Structure 1
Amino acid sequence: MTAFYHPRRQWLVGNAEEGGLAMLPQFGCGSGGTHRPFNSYALVFPVGGVRKALLFDAPFRHAIPGVRGLKEEGVEILGCFVSHADLAGRGDAFDQLVAEFELPLFLHPEDRHDPRVRGLMQEWEDPIAACGEGGPLADLPIETLHWPGHSPGSVMVYTPAFGGVLLTGDSAIAPGPMQPDDAPPLERPPAPPPPFSPTDDEVCDAWRVLLKRWETDGAPRTLAPLHGEIYADTDDVPVLIRGLLKAAPMTPQVRPTA
């Protein structure tokens, strides 16, 4: 089980020497409207004798000690992906990521028009182009999946490394420490109202295409959302996605307190 609000980095898959998926410190983290803390990640790859890291959904001051620790251990940090616009609007460490670590920031172009993003006054790079041929991240075994649904520019990141890892952002959401025990293990967020596109049916169809692809390519063994439990090193990822598709989009669920 995920240790929420932990003050130190947690290796979910792999380790510091060989690379893998780490969850950055969460102590001091806030939460969204469903009382799930933000999960921030570092994917660390051994590339030509050098460890290189990509940060994902990590624009928070509480995660900075983990970023600093990676750098002090000799890991070359290549940038920070932000999965969608409202997460960018909540970030409070963009200036520090740029000034202290000199990191480029990646956000899909379709989310940059959002007022919460424009108000940040940051320069953004395209996460899909960055992973493509000739891009600055082309030597990493990662793929950016444009996954509109929660926002026009929502993205997920997939790597076949470490048994396969899918970082979902808010495209799939798991229960956190304040959800009831019978909460679904994985849910999809409701799509914003029209004229936003795609519809919920189109989002589900995109998941079905991905499930079909996994039948040939193999499914990831780790699914890591922005909010809630991380399902690490398990055969259950396709089962979790099928369950996500069978249910209606999520509604807020909070564990009752005295």
Structure 2
Amino acid sequence: MSARIERTVTSGVFALDGGRWDVDNNVWVVGDDDECLVVDAPHDARAIADLVAGRRVTAIACTHAHNDHVDAALELAALVDAPVLLHPADRVLWDRTHPDRPPHGELSDGQTLTVAGVPVTVLHTPGHSPGSCCLSVPALGAVFTGDTLFAGGPGATGRSYSDFDTIVDSITRRLLTLPADTTVYTGHGETTTIGAEAPHRAEWTA
């Protein structure tokens, strides 16, 4: 069977800079009946493992290392026997959640992860965090944006290790240049498309 995209939603707490917020996180799985790639591992490793449903997991790719995207990563890795991958610029955030255990490998700009015969290209898109990455899957008309781009605009930049001008530059150069019909699979909330978000670019810096 050809590659497809599946989702589950997990709930928990995002904690940073002394604040705590209840959040619902999207978890995306890309693959076929035999193998898959997991995008982010928030809150509930068992729920994500249930979505994987016994398939071989090629990797757990973390779009960034805020706790609500990685707090279940190592538990999930043990459950499904897969490596956790993270851009090294986000180790400062990862270490707040997992101070004694590093991720298993790194994500880097331009890197290709292949799952179910489909290339997945890593795009380094700093701004929400230093090591934020998006995962572009042209064969499926998809990009997984974590907290970099949502339906309605850029992700938050009001906390430590984030920068508004940087996230706008990342979105402009790396995401809005994708085909307009590319579906944007976000870290929270509903999907959107590049074409739906691009017309609002000027409003972000107004």
Code of the aligned partner of 2:38? L
Instruction: Identify the residue that residue 182 of structure 1 maps to in structure 2.
Output: none
**Structure 1, gaps ≥5 residues long:** 1-16, 175-184, 250-258
Shift of 1:147: 0.9
Instruction: Identify the residue that residue 125 of structure 1 maps to in structure 2.
Output: 105
Distance 1:186 1:170, change over 3 A: same
TM-score (norm 2): 0.78
Per-residue CA distance 1:105-124 (angstroms, 9 max, x = gap): 01111111334155151333
Instruction: Identify the residue that residue 52 of structure 1 maps to in structure 2.
Output: 35
Q: Is 1:30 the equivalent of 2:12?
A: yes
TM-score (norm 1): 0.64
Instruction: Identify the residue that residue 154 of structure 1 maps to in structure 2.
Output: 132
Distance 1:80 1:228, change over 3 A: same
Q: Percent identity?
A: 23
Larger Rg belongs to: 1
Count of residues in correspondence between the two structures: 200
Code of the aligned partner of 2:25? F
Contact preservation (8 Å) 1:154, 1:171: yes
Between the aligned partners of 2:176 and 2:39, the Cα distance in structure 1 is 26
Shift of 1:23: 0.7
**Secondary structure of the equivalent of 2:34?**
strand
Per-residue CA distance 1:33-63 (angstroms, 9 max, x = gap): 6654111110115xxxx732110112432x5
Selected match of 2:184 from 219, 223, 226: 223
Instruction: Identify the residue that residue 170 of structure 1 maps to in structure 2.
Output: 147
Shift of 1:104: 0.2
Q: Which has the higher strand share?
A: 2
Between the aligned partners of 1:227 and 1:71, the Cα distance in structure 2 is 23
Distance 1:191 1:248, change over 3 A: farther
Code of the aligned partner of 1:239? A
Instruction: Identify the residue that residue 181 of structure 1 maps to in structure 2.
Output: none
Code of the aligned partner of 2:164? D
Selected match of 2:194 from 232, 237, 240: 237
Q: Is 1:86 the equivalent of 2:53?
A: no
**Secondary structure of the equivalent of 2:66?**
helix
Selected match of 2:2 from 18, 21, 26: 18
Contact preservation (8 Å) 1:41, 1:56: yes
Instruction: Identify the residue that residue 13 of structure 1 maps to in structure 2.
Output: none
Between the aligned partners of 1:229 and 1:34, the Cα distance in structure 2 is 19
Shift of 1:229: 1.3
Shift of 1:96: 2.6
Shift of 1:31: 4.8
Instruction: Identify the residue that residue 27 of structure 2 maps to in structure 1.
Output: 40
**Secondary structure of the equivalent of 1:142?**
strand
Between the aligned partners of 1:206 and 1:67, the Cα distance in structure 2 is 32
**Structure 2, gaps ≥5 residues long:** 15-19
Code of the aligned partner of 1:190? T
Q: CA RMSD in A?
A: 3.2
Between the aligned partners of 1:211 and 1:95, the Cα distance in structure 2 is 29
Distance 1:86 1:168, change over 3 A: same
Selected match of 1:200 from 164, 168, 182: 164
Selected match of 1:68 from 45, 50, 72: 50
